[in-house]
Structure 1
């Protein structure tokens, strides 16, 4: 999910000390129906047929991709952020992006990156037994997962290109793909980047402070050999559900104090009644390596592949320091949509990204001063605020 470093490192500490049996589900307040339904169930509830497709990547990961078929020719591909899943695009029901696109007869494909609740499968590796399964970061999600999914979508539909929508790390994945495998620029008619994340030079407290201590924290916790972070059926989510599903007090603690400092304060768009729905879907699972890769971007002020240290870097990249992604090769049409109050996708960082991209067809800062990182997928007024900005792009480039 988008609660990157703050929540993730807390999760690591808690996961090492507690067992899920300490917080049985019976102690929590029952979750609403939309918290309990998966993507397929939510799609059906809100009036649409949902197909489930398995996509196998070059390196053997099996991704579950949900499709809501539509008559419009150009497929729309949705990619989620860190520790998140396709569910974030649909849990607002009729006000969500997935359902709103489906209601306008777009062919919607919602991707699940390797390691999340829907994509914990591999042709050889067991995520519960083989640590090698978790040896990935946002690089592999872009280089392999998006590439395989785009090829699969075009094969099934017979179309020549997709509109790719990403949120948070979902945008990072797109930038990795388009700069590292430039042939895919011809397969992407438009990339819509919601809360773009590439450069992380201007983060604010508390994330900037936690990032500064990230390597130290990782070193202290490395003996625990934790590879999966925020697993959907792990202790992290059990704790999250227990502490954050106890009424208005827990809303204040979990959202106002726990989440908003890392995302930007906007209680208007993330109201207390929605929190129990979100609790049914996040966190959805990710790799520790992925979080460390983002941490490296913060400290180095560079957008580059994973830094393994001089010796391994020399072997893998031919340099002692990983070369930066060549964003000039990302020639596909790209729209950058950013919020003034986003604590992760900072306006100054997105402006820096814009300077590196050769074909930005739209750059938009959301008008509402409170607009934060989560509002792009969870905001309760997206049809009135976000969709008027991005839906003309779907029309123009589909």
Structure 2
């Protein structure tokens, strides 16, 4: 596999700021929160329900809807833009290089299509000759289905990013590989980089992936310095289950809103400028872009997933989910501590400064 390309990183928890901004619900999103999408069509004109109709074909692109079922029963929605709107190297039968776009936490595949065609990565790639595939991981609006589990039950949400590494990513990569017969370019953002790094570190998927581009790459999260980011992460680890008692982390729900308000009341935390409070000065976000983002995002994830992400802040290591006691870890892993992803090295502060 070609060398990984890394771009400057932002904390995965920077999205918490956007979640806090979303305390006041938008009608455009609330209707999708508990819906179960089914009956996707696989025709190039985007006929039927789904993301193709909502955000792709309206711009004049052809689009296919696919479904893939993971080996633990989650039914994932995948979109394909087989060719560019104009030109772009031929039609859908051309031997175009496939590229898989994997979103991060608290968003879905729409994140690659938020802007105009000239500014949306998925459409830019299609217009430049790529066969574009867009993933939506379990729990997001177009992937809220399972062969037996109901998304309104806790069992549906009993997963972390470990499960995305083990179940979702292999199903998605295999789908694209089998449909195209070619190794893929992988582009991940935020948590989408984490699951790729964890998978590659164990030698998985590398026989089907040609290259990987990692946007805002994250693995170790112990370098955060902002007060809000630190408080949020530690609260997820130590308090979230007692505060919520909820398996689904629904950013539009009242319990989550109340919890985030509590975070902003902590000493040393200033939520007046939320984005800056978490990430430092941000070059590319303003009131207009945030408002546009909130028309489609944020999406649900499992509370357990956010706890897992926050454990890396607390512990300073990258490992599988810590069940909180030696006995529970022993039962799940055969050892008292969760296994580490050993081949992903944590850079020192000095090394990070030199890299930047």
Superposition pairs of residues 124-139 of structure 1, within 5 angstroms: 124-128=148-152, 130-139=153-162
In structure 1, distance between residues paired with 2:256 and 2:316? 35
Asked if the contact 1:305/1:325 (under 8 Å) is kept, the reply is: yes
Tell me whether 285-294 or 66-75 shows the greater mean CA deviation: 66-75
SS at the partner of 1:111?
strand
Tell me whether 281-290 or 72-81 shows the greater mean CA deviation: 72-81
1:73 aligns with 2:88: no
Correspondent of 1:44 among 53, 57, 67: 57
Correspondent of 1:318 among 334, 340, 350: 334
SS at the partner of 1:302?
coil
Q: Measured at CA, do residues 42 and 2 of structure 1 come closer, stay the same or move farther in structure 2, by a change above 3 Å?
A: farther
The answer for unaligned runs of 5 or more in structure 2 is 1-10, 29-49, 84-93, 258-269
Asked if the contact 1:79/1:166 (under 8 Å) is kept, the reply is: yes
1:230 aligns with 2:254: no
Q: Measured at CA, do residues 284 and 212 of structure 1 come closer, stay the same or move farther in structure 2, by a change above 3 Å?
A: closer
Deviation at 1:179, TM superposition (A): 2.5
Superposition pairs of residues 1-398 of structure 1, within 5 angstroms: 2-3=12-13, 6-7=16-17, 25=27, 38=51, 40-70=53-83, 71-94=94-117, 95-128=119-152, 130-159=153-182, 161-180=183-202, 182-205=203-226, 206-221=228-243, 224-230=244-250, 234-235=252-253, 257-266=273-282, 268-308=283-323, 309-327=325-343
In structure 1, distance between residues paired with 2:253 and 2:206? 40
Deviation at 1:326, TM superposition (A): 3.1
Q: Measured at CA, do residues 136 and 69 of structure 1 come closer, stay the same or move farther in structure 2, by a change above 3 Å?
A: same
Deviation at 1:155, TM superposition (A): 1.1
Please identify which structure carries the higher helix content.
1
Q: Deviations over 1:29-79 (max 9, x none)?
A: xxxxxxxx9454322233311111111000000000111013453310011
In structure 1, distance between residues paired with 2:111 and 2:349? 24
Q: TM-score, normalised by structure 1?
A: 0.67
How many residue pairs match? The answer is 300
Q: Deviations over 1:213-242 (max 9, x none)?
A: 433322531xx42111135xx436998xxx
Q: Deviations over 1:187-213 (max 9, x none)?
A: 111111111111112111221133234
Q: Measured at CA, do residues 132 and 350 of structure 1 come closer, stay the same or move farther in structure 2, by a change above 3 Å?
A: farther
Give 2:89's aligned residue: none
Tell me whether 56-65 or 205-214 shows the greater mean CA deviation: 205-214
In structure 2, distance between residues paired with 1:349 and 1:41? 43
Asked if the contact 1:11/1:229 (under 8 Å) is kept, the reply is: no
